[in-house]
Structure 1
Amino acid sequence: METGITVLFLLLYLLRLHVRIRCLYWPLADVLNSVIAALFLFIVSLFAIIIKTNKGTLAGGVLGLILLVLCLVDVILLCKKISLEKARGRSAPAK
């Protein structure tokens, strides 16, 4: 399900539909998606590393943790982008 949501976000941005559909603030929705994906990856990877029934399960857990780090980097970059796109007012009037 998470992969499907990520593909939908990718199509949304590729087809420039985020410009036409203004009822949502899309960068914030993308941040929420990345946070949910990071939580999901953390839980699944943690279980895979704890159980480690075979080497494939352990390798999957480690790859899941690497993906978790990538999701967290995505969240940080999106948050910086959101904070940089804010309208900035002047504190002192221009002379």
Structure 2
Amino acid sequence: MEVDTAFLRSVRGIVKLAEMMTLFVALMCFSAASRPKYIAATVLEFLVTSLLLLLYTLKLNKKLTFFFWPLIDVFNSVFGAALVLVFSLMAVSTYTVRNTLAGGIVGLMAVVLLCGDGYIVFNKITFNKSRNETEVVKVSSVS
């Protein structure tokens, strides 16, 4: 298998890595505070994000063509942001242990990264247009 190091150095790759780091830190904070519902939501989003990062890094998205991976990535970003936002706001507003507050704050940072990732990927998706049409539109709008 070929590793795509260019993806890891791209804006999308850096944002995905930052998402994973913030979700991991939030997971550690919630684990230290022993909050199972927050742990479950954070683990779920961490696993899905890491699987998508692995998919893009190993270029499996080019081999598994039965899904439209950018759209799945956008849906993951949107629903993940909503899920993490709800649980982070609950953690921040009802904390009894400082680790829960820290996990909620880091979770809110992950929400910002998830929204940014969804925005970046959504802007790159073209529906019902060939690649040449989008390049012509981008070149004509720049001129």
Which TM class, normalised by the smaller chain length?
A: 0.7 to 0.9
Equivalent in the alignment of 1:35: 78
Structure ranking higher in helix proportion: 2
Q: What residue is the counterpart of 1:7 in the other structure?
A: 50
Distance across 1 between alignment mates of 2:107 and 2:126: 29
Taking structure 2 as the reference length, what is the TM-score of the superposition? Answer: 0.56
Gaps of at least 5 residues in structure 2 are: 1-43, 137-143
1:66 Cα shift? 0.9
Q: Which residue of 1 aligns with 2:59?
A: 16
Q: Structure 1: which 5+ residue stretches go unaligned?
A: 91-95
The percent identity for this pair of structures is: 40
1:55 aligns with 2:98: yes
Q: Answer 1 or 2: higher relative contact order, Cα 8 Å, separation at least 6.
A: 2
Q: Following superposition, which runs of at least 4 residues in structure 1 exceed 2 angstroms of deviation?
A: none
Q: Measure how far apart 1:54 and its partner are.
A: 2.6
